[in-house]
Amino acid sequence: MLTWIVLGLAAGLVAKFILPGKDPGGLILTTLIGVVGAVIGGYIGTRMGWGEVTGLDSRSILLSIGGALVLLLGLRVLNRR
């Protein structure tokens, strides 16, 4: 559980660094975006045969960041409407 939170925080921070903007929320929302992004990235990675998000290795981190980017873009599209 703690690994997911740490991975989520890292993924959320990197995603917000890659896609800067005026997003609401602070550290807690960034962590939640990262954790949910890790789940999304793990799901997509598993379905595409790239592996699962299993811990703090480079593949899991990249999948988590990718999922957090997808989630952040999706949230921005929904907020514009």
**Angstrom distance (rounded) from CA 25 to CA 31:** 10
| Structure confidence at residue 30 (pLDDT) | 75
How far apart, in Å, are the Cα atoms of 9 and each of 48, 49, 61, 79? 24, 25, 11, 22
pTM of the model: 0.78
Spatial separation of the C-alpha atoms in residues 22 and 43, rounded to whole Å: 28
pLDDT in tens, the chain (81 residues): 677 777 778 888 888 888 787 766 677 777 788 788 878 887 888 888 876 666 677 887 888 888 888 888 888 888 777
Note every long-range contact of 53-56, with CB atoms under 8 Å and residues 24 or more positions apart, other chains counting: 53/7, 55/3, 56/3, 56/6, 56/7
